[in-house]
C-alpha cells in the first residue's frame, strides 16, 4: 500500500464480526495490540486525520472491527484490543472470538501492525500475535510507543529478534 494518499482515507463501517464485513476481497492491513496500545491513534497519525478513528484514554473503547478505505479495494482495519479492559467478561469473550475469526479467516488480510506500549513490550499475547502472523505468511510490523528513542530502539530490536 505504498504511494497511496492516506489523507483521503475514510471510514467505511464497523462490524461486530466477519459476517457483517464487506466481501472478502482486496487488501487489508490490520492494526492489533493490547487495549489502549494506541491503535486508533496510529491510524489517525498515518492518515493525518485527528478524528478518523475514535480514540480514548479508557482501555477497551474500540469494541468492533472498524474498516477504513484508503482507495478502492485497499483498507486499514482498527481491531478491538486484547488484554485488559473494564468491560464484562462476556463482552471480552465476544471481542476475542471476533478478533480470532477475523485473523484466521479473512483472506484479504495481508498485513498486521502490532502496536505495543513501550512500558510493557512483548507481552505473551503480543508474541502470540506476531508468531501467528509469521506462521500465516502475513507481513507483520511491530511498533512500540510512549517513550524516548533509546527505549524504542530496544523494543524494535526485541520485535525483530522475535520474528
Q: What are the pLDDT digits (tens) for 41-74? A: 888 888 999 889 888 666 556 678 999 999 999 9
CA–CA distance, 147 with 151 (Å, rounded to integer)? 6
Domain range holding 54?
6-162
Q: Extract the runs of DSSP E, i.e. beta strands, from the chain.
A: 10-15, 27-33, 65-71, 74-78, 109-117, 139-145
Confidence of residue 110 (pLDDT cuts 50, 70, 90): very high
For the chain, how many structural domains are there in total?
1
Domain presence at residue 110: yes
Q: What are the pLDDT digits (tens) for 77-97? A: 998 887 665 666 776 677 678
Domain presence at residue 149: yes
Domain presence at residue 27: yes
Q: Please answer whether residues 48 and 7 qualify as being in contact, where contact means their C-beta atoms are separated by less than 8 angstroms.
A: yes
CATH code of the domain containing 10: 3.40.50.300
Domain presence at residue 1: no
The strand pairing partners of 13, in sequence order, are 67
Q: What is the pLDDT of residue 99?
A: 80
Residue of 81, 64, 75 lying closest to 15 (CA atoms): 64
Tell whether the torsion through CA atoms of 125, 84, 90 and 62 is positive or negative. Answer: negative
Note if the pTM is more than 0.75. Answer: yes
Amino acid at each position: 500500500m505504498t504511494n497511496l494518499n492516506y489523507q483521503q482515507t475514510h471510514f467505511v463501517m464497523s462490524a461486530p464480526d466477519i459476517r457483517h464485513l464487506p466481501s472478502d476481497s482486496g487488501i487489508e492491513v490490520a492494526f492489533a495490540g493490547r487495549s489502549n496500545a494506541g491503535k486508533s491513534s496510529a491510524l489517525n497519525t498515518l492518515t493525518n486525520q485527528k478524528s478518523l478513528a475514535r480514540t480514548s484514554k479508557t482501555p477497551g473503547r474500540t469494541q468492533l472491527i472498524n474498516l477504513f478505505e484508503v482507495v478502492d479495494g485497499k483498507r486499514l482495519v482498527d481491531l478491538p484490543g486484547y488484554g485488559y479492559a473494564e468491560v464484562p467478561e462476556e463482552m471480552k469473550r465476544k471481542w476475542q472470538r471476533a478478533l480470532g475469526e477475523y485473523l484466521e479467516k479473512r483472506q484479504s488480510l495481508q498485513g498486521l501492525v502490532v502496536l505495543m506500549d513501550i512500558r510493557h513490550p512483548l507481552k505473551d499475547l503480543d508474541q502470540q500475535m506476531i508468531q501467528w502472523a509469521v506462521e500465516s505468511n502475513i507481513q507483520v510490523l511491530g511498533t512500540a510507543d510512549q517513550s524516548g528513542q533509546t527505549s524504542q530502539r530496544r523494543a524494535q530490536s526485541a520485535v525483530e529478534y522475535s520474528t
